[in-house]
Amino acid sequence: MTSTITRVLRNRDASLCLAAVVVSGFGSSAMWLVSGIWVKELTGSDGLAALCTFALWAPALIGPLLGTIADRTRRVPLLIGTNLALGALLTSLVFVDSPATLWILYTVLFLYGACGAVTDAAEAALVTAAVGKDLTGDFNGLRMSANEGMKLIAPLAGAGLFAAFGGARVALLDAATFVLAAGMFTLLRVREDVPVRAASGWRAQTAEGARHLWNSPQLRPLVLAGGLTMLTSGISGAAIYAVVEGLGRSPAYTGVLYVVQGAGSVAVGVASGTLMRRFGGRRFGGAGIALTALAVVLHALPYDATALAGSLANGLGLPCVLIAGMTAVQRETPQALIGRVAATANTLMFTPTAVGIAMGAALVETVDYRVLLPVLAGARLLIAAPLFMSRSRPATSRRPSA
């Protein structure tokens, strides 16, 4: 495992891509938390604060259309331009100082989410050219580890900076991280051909990516399993406060459980490339889903030890199908289609989380969590079962192209 990770990190372009993701991810994680706190402080409204998350998520609904942009132009200039645009856009938040100016914040957050869909699609396509398809699993795992690590550190840093200096300073910090990421992308040496201008329009090109995903026996099972797993994750996430209350703990104890879960996600990200080569992407994803089934059963028990073990199991299991799904997209999709297929896969795998949270918020008010969580465990086992019954092709052992 160590030698494989070393091969990824020794690749100059892969290291620059990963560093850009880490830097911009730090700013994004900080801004995600602070935006809600900022609105809450200005208005006192929980509903308006929650709209910040909605504004960030909303562009995911048109993610496949946005991802088509990444297939219509060279990816490196697109990433440079989009990151610089985000940096400039975030500076407008210095004018947010009252409830009357919140429209600026919501507009920026919506555009932030839209640009994120474009950059995620472009990065997915660029990585295959930088590291080679056989090491995409290792890169995706390292990226997951980096993102989860940032989620553990950046929100605390952002909250501290907000308390000391206000939201505008956090926005400027985030802007600086995007400018720095753009600088890293300028150093890439990935050779890209100019995309052939398609005769069909945007809608037809977007549909082409969706058809490729749906018609692929390698991609469809993983992406559907990922979306259904994230749907149940949203439901179980909404029940976390009931779990903490059942332990006799204060709501602040939720933070401890999230830290343990994040640590599990960091760990599995590092090992994911090796595990997928050993067991295949589908079995790796299925095992992860089964582990999350165990996690919710442990959360249903009224003990601190089982709650912590459940959070660790959830952190270890939840990323598996997501990493396996995106890796399959990169390996099984022609380079000219990766942007829109990756964006479609992201929409199908991540958007159900928001639906699950809404469902969970309603269910926890009417169903005892000690009944709800075991039912979710059974549902997750049903989601995982097809991945074990279908054949999973192991990764090849070719060396990556530089």
Domain end point (choices 136, 157, 189): 189
**Percentage of residues in the chain having pLDDT higher than 70:** 94
Instruction: Judge if 143 and 214 occupy the same domain.
Output: no
Q: How much is the pTM? A: 0.85
Instruction: Judge if 184 and 153 occupy the same domain.
Output: yes
At 214, the amino acid letter reads W
Position 110 pLDDT exceeds 50:
yes
Instruction: Judge if 125 and 262 occupy the same domain.
Output: no
* pLDDT of amino acid 136: 86
Please indicate, yes or no, if residue 397 is contained in any of the structural domains. Answer: no
Which of residues 28 and 312 earns the better pLDDT score?
312
Each residue's pLDDT tens digit, 210-257: 899 999 999 999 999 999 999 999 899 888 888 988 999 887 788 788
Task: Read off the pLDDT band of 396 (50, 70, 90).
Answer: very low
Q: What mean pLDDT is reported for the chain?
A: 87
Contact 177, 82 (CB under 8 A): no
Q: Give Cα separations from 272 to 6, 83, 84, 160 (angstroms).
A: 14, 28, 32, 33
Instruction: Judge if 177 and 215 occupy the same domain.
Output: no
- From the centroid of its chain, how far is CA 170? 21
* pLDDT of amino acid 4: 63
* pLDDT of amino acid 398: 36
Each residue's pLDDT tens digit, 354-388: 888 888 888 888 889 999 999 999 999 999 999 99
Position 192 pLDDT exceeds 80:
no
Position 3 pLDDT exceeds 70:
no
- Separation between Cα atoms, residue 361 and residue 33, nearest integer Å: 20
* pLDDT of amino acid 111: 94
Instruction: Judge if 267 and 318 occupy the same domain.
Output: yes
Position 67 pLDDT exceeds 80:
yes
Please indicate, yes or no, if residue 201 is contained in any of the structural domains. Answer: no
Residue (of 301, 300, 244, 284) closest to 395 by Cα position: 284
Task: Read off the pLDDT band of 200 (50, 70, 90).
Answer: low
Instruction: Judge if 230 and 179 occupy the same domain.
Output: no
Mean pLDDT value across residues 308-334: 94
Q: Give the chain's domain count.
A: 2
Which of residues 399 and 200 earns the better pLDDT score?
200
Instruction: Judge if 153 and 226 occupy the same domain.
Output: no
Instruction: Judge if 136 and 90 occupy the same domain.
Output: yes
Q: CATH number of the domain at 185, please.
A: 1.20.1250.20
Across 12-26, 221-235, 386-400, the highest mean pLDDT is recorded for 221-235
Least confident among 44-48, 280-284, 311-315, 380-384? 44-48
Residue (of 343, 308, 330) closest to 202 by Cα position: 343
- Count of residues for the chain? 402
Least confident among 122-131, 188-197, 325-334? 188-197
Mean pLDDT value across residues 252-267: 86
Instruction: Judge if 334 and 371 occupy the same domain.
Output: yes
* pLDDT of amino acid 380: 97
Domain end point (choices 156, 189, 222): 189
Please indicate, yes or no, if residue 21 is contained in any of the structural domains. Answer: yes
Position 309 pLDDT exceeds 70:
yes
**Percentage of residues in the chain having pLDDT higher than 90:** 43
Task: Read off the pLDDT band of 2 (50, 70, 90).
Answer: low
Contact 289, 380 (CB under 8 A): yes
- Separation between Cα atoms, residue 241 and residue 369, nearest integer Å: 10
Instruction: Judge if 178 and 246 occupy the same domain.
Output: no
* pLDDT of amino acid 401: 33
Position 203 pLDDT exceeds 60:
yes
- Separation between Cα atoms, residue 143 and residue 128, nearest integer Å: 14
Which structural domain, as residue segments, surrounds residue 333?
A: 208-392
Instruction: Judge if 70 and 134 occupy the same domain.
Output: yes
- Separation between Cα atoms, residue 344 and residue 255, nearest integer Å: 32
Position 390 pLDDT exceeds 70:
no
- From the centroid of its chain, how far is CA 128? 18
Please indicate, yes or no, if residue 349 is contained in any of the structural domains. Answer: yes
Position 399 pLDDT exceeds 50:
no
Domain end point (choices 140, 157, 189): 189
Instruction: Judge if 159 and 261 occupy the same domain.
Output: no
DSSP readout, 307-350?
A: HHHHHHHHHHHHHHHHHHHHHHHHHHS-GGGHHHHHHHHHHHHH
Please indicate, yes or no, if residue 221 is contained in any of the structural domains. Answer: yes
Position 286 pLDDT exceeds 70:
yes
